[in-house]
Structure 1
Amino acid sequence: MRQQMEKGRKHPRKFEPNDLVLIQISEVDDAGIDCQYIPCKVLKFTENDTYILGCQYGRLNEYYSAIELVPIIGTFREYSELVNILNNCVSACKAAIQQSSGSITATKCLCK
């Protein structure tokens, strides 16, 4: 299905390591959180045409295709929390919950 969707694009999306992207949290996983997107950094491109991503809470434990990623037209100055990614693995749902509770951790939601 992913290949069929990419065929419809005139210029398929390609991302390089250190590119900044957003991933959308599915409605099933959102658990009542207010942030619908997580800012991430592309860590690696795999041979299966998927990407390994990292967020401010660690490396995401799922792989993402280019179709699922939204490019960010920002810099590391605006997303300084993505400069150094922690080595631990975290799910996208858990990262969204942590990001959503920004008032506790003194970070603000970056999805708006």
Structure 2
Amino acid sequence: MKIKSFKNLTFLSLQFNKLKEIPKEICSLHNLLDLHLNNNKLETICPEIGNLKKLLTLYLHCNRLVTLPPSISRLKYLEDFTIEKNDKLSFPPLKIQKKGKLNFKNRGKFLIEKKL
């Protein structure tokens, strides 16, 4: 069974699976609200992650991330974004547009732009 066949999937947890990369098909699940990819061996996140425009929760903590794609800035509904314990993570400031409250834990810096 292919991931693409789960078009209406809203929650996906792939934590603790030793993943080294995110299957790109996940980024075609446009109804996804919660994506848990924590505690894997991810070093990069595919730019297509920005296609998950309805995403509210993204857990990336406890991986081996080195960088984050600028396309994360397109996740305008993101409320819960965790990326701690990615010791080699460095990235330029990202603009994240969010109405209301955005909670995230991070070792780096984000530029958060709030539009009313």
Give the TM-score, by structure 1 length. Answer: 0.21
